[in-house]
Amino acid sequence: MTYERLFSDPTKTTIVNTENNNEKIKVQFDTVGKHTVKLTVRDQYGKQADISKDIDVKSILRPEIFVVPIATPRGNPMNFVVKSNQPIINYQWNFGDQDTRTVQTDKIAHSYQKAGVYTVDLKVS
């Protein structure tokens, strides 16, 4: 099987990752709004099928969290830094240990009082 995708505006999309001979892809859209994606699948006998899907992109904000160090003895601070493709004015952190904070800076330190693996959630605007 071969897979081909067409985007309504290919200049506003970036394919980030592909898997299994283009069977699965990860795409970033660079503009807010509706985007149409058309998938064409062909088998080894030349048969083909098409399907289209509209995708509504509500935000192109792509923050990434970096942590230094990624592990430390309990009680020692961990430094969280956010990098983004767009300016951010507000950061709402949930450190996974009942500590939540809202700040206006892209850097914050946090210390965990118990050993463990924590899921950190960040909401930005």
Q: What CATH number is given to the structural domain containing 98?
A: 2.60.40.10
| Per-residue DSSP letter, 42 | E
Question: Which residue among 41, 57, 73 closes a domain?
Answer: 57
CA distances from residue 91 to 34, 65, 97, 99 in whole angstroms, order as listed: 27, 11, 17, 14
The residue segments making up the domain with residue 46 are: 2-57
Using DSSP's 3-state secondary structure scheme, residue 30 falls into coil
Contact 88, 61 (CB under 8 A): yes
Q: What is the pLDDT of residue 101?
A: 96
Q: What tens digit of pLDDT does each residue of 40-91 get?
A: 999 999 999 999 999 999 988 989 999 999 899 989 999 999 999 889 999 9
Q: Is residue 78 domain-shared with residue 102, that is, in the same domain? A: yes
Number of domains in the chain: 2
Q: What tens digit of pLDDT does each residue of 90-121 get?
A: 999 999 999 999 999 999 999 999 999 999 99
Which pLDDT band, with edges at 50, 70 and 90, does 21 fall under?
confident
Q: What is the pLDDT of residue 111?
A: 95
Q: What is the pLDDT of residue 8?
A: 94
Question: Which residue among 57, 88, 103 closes a domain?
Answer: 57
Which pLDDT band, with edges at 50, 70 and 90, does 22 fall under?
confident
